[in-house]
Amino acid sequence: MKSTADLKEEHENIAIFLAVLDIILSRMQSKKQISLNDLQWLFEFNRDFILKCHNEKEDCILFPALDGMSIPVESISLLIAEHELAWSISKIMRGLIQDCIEGRRDAEWDIIELGRSYISFMREHIDKEETIFYPLVNECISRDMDDMLASKLRLFIEDSIGMGRYADLQELLQDFKSFYGA
């Protein structure tokens, strides 16, 4: 189905984000020099692409469209709660990164620990969506509803961050992937 396929494509970019983050955290842990600006940009990508765009597409478009269908409400509630947790973790990470930029080097260990937890959390969340939730969605929605959802999901990008920002984020992420060998 087109709507879940589009969301899965975004998961591929999220996986790249997580791989680059993992490399940077490993370098930090082994006391190698890292660019705090790169780390700061990664969490701008996280905020704009993952949280504002991808997660909110699900929260504002996909989940409400499933109301009254045979998908358990608890499943949707769990995914929404996980999206809220991702917002909270991201906000803390951005604060810790800013602390490091301002010279508080003791924040590095907190970044490493929270970053590793975030990587694990996000990978589990994506796996849950791709192996359990999206297949349920695909079984429940009609082709017409799928077409409508796919269209609304694409339009949401323009309303949330804009197509230019969306494309720029993906392009910069590919540059990071190449630079860090992710």
What is the DSSP annotation of 118-169?
HHHHHHHHHHHIIIIIHHHHHHHS-HHHHHHHHHHHHHHHHHHT-HHHHHHH
How much is the pLDDT for 37? Answer: 95
Question: CA–CA separation, 100 vs 104, rounded Å?
Answer: 5
Helices (H) and strands (E) in the chain, counts: 9, 0
* Helix axes 143-160 and 2-29, enclosed angle (nearest 10): 50
Q: pTM score, two decimals?
A: 0.95
Stretches where the chain sits below pLDDT 70 are none
How much is the pLDDT for 51? Answer: 97
> Which pLDDT tens digit goes with each residue over 140-159?
999 999 999 999 999 999 99
Of 48, 81, 59, give the one whose Cα is nearest residue 153.
59
Phi, psi of 50, rounded to the nearest 5 degrees: -80, -55
Spell out the residues 6+ positions from residue 131 whose beta carbon is closer than 8 angstroms to its own. Answer: none
Give the CATH number of domain 2-180; options: 2.40.50.100, 3.40.50.300, 1.20.140.10, 1.20.120.520. Answer: 1.20.120.520
Question: CA–CA separation, 129 vs 50, rounded Å?
Answer: 14
How much is the pLDDT for 149? Answer: 95
The residues spanned by each domain of the chain are 2-180
